[in-house]
Structure 1
């Protein structure tokens, strides 16, 4: 018996094989389909997809045997990978000097008398193992059968490459999910921890202004007002971040039946509107089954934007609703300042701010509308914007009807 030689690029070969993360994995239907087809085409009772590691040949897929692996130093596949470009055929192992006294070919059930194998290589041409067929009696394949087995081997290579890419993508997704969890936890902790000092800062500014306003003079009061404004602005920013990262929790709240007009009235009360404003509800009131908390947050953000980004003496907001198959459709339309066409694609991106200021001269934080999109998406819907500068903006969003 002649033991399989070691390829000159053995270190590179093993590195490539181990990097695939395929050794010792469970059977997969895609690979089993190919070994079944190889057995059928060749007429052989045994078909294997083997991967040759440092000490053994391991079977990713097997037909006609229950053995999971064998030692590399007695393997037929160890010889086959030495000439990866060729189909290796042993018509009768007892007449081949390499295998005539091989323990796999003698004195055992299903001893190998015929072997035909095509080497499997990666994209760089490095041999990994074989697709092989085996018979317990001498045999021979015709030219068409060998051609078909070579084609199947190419499909195995494609499967292995696709499997590896899917593995890398899944790992990247999991790493990203883990990172996002840490980021959410960090954002939550930092935001909560910052809200109290900010509230104290705003309160202290008011106290100083009231008690010592005469002593610090007009310029000192101006600085205190700026300090208070900055504190309130940062507090709003933190609240926006918390709302964004907690929006997934809102999407999991149970569905309930609500009166649409009652919901809208509650939202208007929460906003505490001081401006001259006309808000028109949908003409027809309906009861709908929705996630109230999530819908309330969506409408709060959109109506609040219609109030803030409006330069008209009288603000007009029209709220619309209709039902279509499987969906509820809501609209929030205003007579505000509008959004430039080229900026409308950016408006739903987190932390993306536009070149506009609100009614009080403040810049947005780029959180509210990204929260809206996230909530709408979690509710199975979509959101879009239609806007014209100085004429107004219309948001349309859908959510799945339940």
Structure 2
């Protein structure tokens, strides 16, 4: 027996094999199908897709045998990979000095007598393993069988290239997720750290106004008013950023509470302390909901809040609808407000995208609320869409799945 030589590019070959992340992976139908096809074409009982490590050859696919690996020193494939572009054929191993006394050739019931192996060679010329076929008796292949065996081997190589690309994409995705998490944590920390100085600014403005009011002219008082308004605007902006990023941490959106829609809406309306002439119409049927209450409250707070803020009518009218259909809750929040231009309707759910320059109270929006709403709805197994007529009305329709998992204490 002659041991196979080590390829000159062994270091690079092993590195390329490692990058595939295929060794000791589970069986995959795509590889088994190609191995079976090779066996069928060449009329052999055994076919293998092998990969050669430093000291062993491992079988990704093994048709016709229960073996999963063997030592590299006795492998036929170890010889085959030394000629990366050639099909290696051994018609009778008992008459070949390289394999005559090889333990595989001497097996009692399933000796390796006939062998044909086509190296699986990547674009850099690294023969990572082989597609090989085996028979327990001497055999020859026709030219057509040889050609088709090479063709099947090429398909295995394409599978490997696809796997490598997928591995790289997964690595990139993992890195991007990690960087995104760092950015979110940074935004959260910065936002939290800014809340206290802003609160101090607002309190300081009130102190200055109260203590030095007699010494300030109207312009000075106006400046203090601008400073306080700006502080409140920035505080609101930071709060919404925190809400947006905190929505990523909702891990229990599939857990549910039982509550009715009218009671939830009553609590939400009370939070707004509405002073304008406003009519908010609840759903006709007070249905019982089974879903994550906190998340739904956040969604409706944003949508109803927008209906109140972005409304230029003397009387604000908001209609809320809700019904259950095939274990899916369908909601609609409609208003008679400013409306949304058609060219803006596709982008309003993007972070920091705004529609109107200013709201009913003269404040500029920050484009965070609807992005948070969409994220929560998607996490609850639903989607949201908008229809609007500029200057007349806007309707947000969304759906969420009915949950059956009860909230744990």
State the alpha-carbon separation in 2 of the partners of residues 299 and 255 from structure 1. Answer: 17
Provide the C-alpha distance between the structure 2 equivalents of 1:387 and 1:356, rounded to a whole number of angstroms.
17
Q: Deviations over 1:314-342 (max 9, x none)?
A: 22212222333332221111121122211
Matches within 5 A, 1:1-400: 4=4, 12-53=12-53, 56-63=56-63, 64-66=65-67, 68-71=69-72, 75-100=75-100, 104-105=104-105, 110-123=110-123, 126-250=126-250, 252=252, 254-354=255-355, 356-400=357-401
| Residue aligned with 2:217, SS | helix
Structure 1 counterpart SS, 2:160: helix
The 2-side partners of 1:69 and 1:169 are apart by 32
Structure 1 residue 154, shift from structure 2 partner: 2.6
Shift of 1:81: 3.1
Greater alpha carbon shift after TM alignment, 359-368 vs 15-24: 15-24
CA distance in structure 2 between the aligned counterparts of 1:49 and 1:107, rounded to whole angstroms:
20
Deviation sequence 1:15-71 (CA, Å, 0-9, x none): 433322223444444434443444454443432212234555433333425252423
**What is the SS of the residue equivalent to 1:60?**
strand
Residues 250/126 of structure 1: CA separation in 2 closer, same or farther (3 Å cut):
closer
* Cα distance in 2 between the residues matched to 1:53 and 1:348: 51
Structure 1 residues 325, 56: CA separation in 2 closer, same or farther (over 3 Å shift)? closer
Structure 1 residue 130 displacement after superposition: 0.8
Q: Secondary structure at the match of 1:115?
A: strand
Contact 1:251–1:378 at 8 Å: present in 2 too?
A: no
Cα distance change of structure 1 residues 286 and 26 upon mapping to structure 2, 3 Å threshold: closer
Aligned residue for 2:212, secondary structure, equals helix
Q: Tell which deviates more after alignment, 160-169 or 362-371.
A: 160-169
Shift of residue 268 of structure 1? 0.6
Counterpart position of 2:406: none
Contact 1:383 / 1:397 at 8 angstroms: preserved in 2?
Answer: yes
Q: For the residues of structure 2 that align with 1:250 and 1:5, how far apart are their CA atoms? A: 57
For 1:285 and 1:60, locate their aligned partners in 2 and report how far apart those are by CA, in whole Å: 59
DSSP 3-state at the match of 2:391: coil
> What's the TM-score once normalised by structure 2's chain length?
0.87
Residue 51 of structure 2 contacts residue 128 of structure 2 at CA under 8 Å; is this kept in 1?
yes
- Please report how far the alpha carbon of residue 376 of structure 1 lies from its aligned counterpart in structure 2 after TM superposition: 1.0
Distance 2:288 2:31 in 1: 53
Query: What is the distance in 2 between the residues matched to 1:381 and 1:65?
Result: 47
Q: Which moved more, 1:91-100 or 1:219-228?
A: 91-100
Q: Secondary structure at the match of 1:154?
A: helix
Instruction: Give the secondary-structure state (helix, strand or coil) at the position aligned to 2:161.
Output: helix
